[in-house]
Amino acid sequence: MSTINLIVQTLHNLTRWGIVILGLVAIIRAFAGWFGKKEYTPADNRAGMLYTIAFDIQFLLGIVLYFSKGWFGVLTADFNASMSSVGTRFFTIDHLLTMVGALTLAHVGRALSRKAADAARKHRSVAIWYGLSFALMLAAVPWPFTAFARPWLRLFGISF
């Protein structure tokens, strides 16, 4: 595999864990703030912002991989063939579209939480929209126990 693919794939693998952790922190804070009737603090705002930033970075890394690992080529060479196998369909279409959907939900949550008039509505926007984004994201990761398994952790040539 080319060095660039190895580096981008390692970053894409690791950023996934950043997104999982940042998403959990933002969502737990939002539910606690919503039901606990708490203030919406700068730390809440930061948690929400970091989740969307990590997701944006992951999107860019994913797009690079999509072209550099040849998935775009697979899709355009023979669309019907790439849809007929679960393995190729997942990376040519499913992973990409589901993640773009999850990213959009996160940005909707971020925009609504910024516009909301009071703390309760801000927390609620993050809890609901980020919660949906997070669930969609989890469903579209190629976890090692799925049909399109990729490693839990990748560090260049080493993977677990």
Going 14 to 15 to 20 to 21, the CA torsion angle's sign is: positive
> C-beta of 155: minimal distance to ligand HEM in Å?
10
Residues 6+ apart with CB under 8 A from 12: 58, 61, 62, 65
> What is the footprint of ligand HEM within residues 53-92 (CB under 6 A)?
55, 58-59, 62-63, 65-66, 69, 71, 91
Question: What phi, psi does 159 have (nearest 5°)?
Answer: -145, 150
> C-beta of 40: minimal distance to ligand HEM in Å?
25
Our finding on whether 12 is near ligand HEM (CB under 6 A) is yes
Q: What angle do CA 113, 115, 116 make, to 5 degrees?
A: 65
- Residue 38 or 150 having the CB closest to ligand HEM: 150
Burial (CB count <10 Å: 0-12, 13-18, 19+), residue 106: buried
> C-beta of 69: minimal distance to ligand HEM in Å?
4
Question: Which spans of this chain sit near ligand HEM (rule: CB under 6 A)?
Answer: 9, 12-13, 16, 19, 55, 58-59, 62-63, 65-66, 69, 71, 91, 95-96, 99-100, 103, 137, 141-142, 150-151, 154
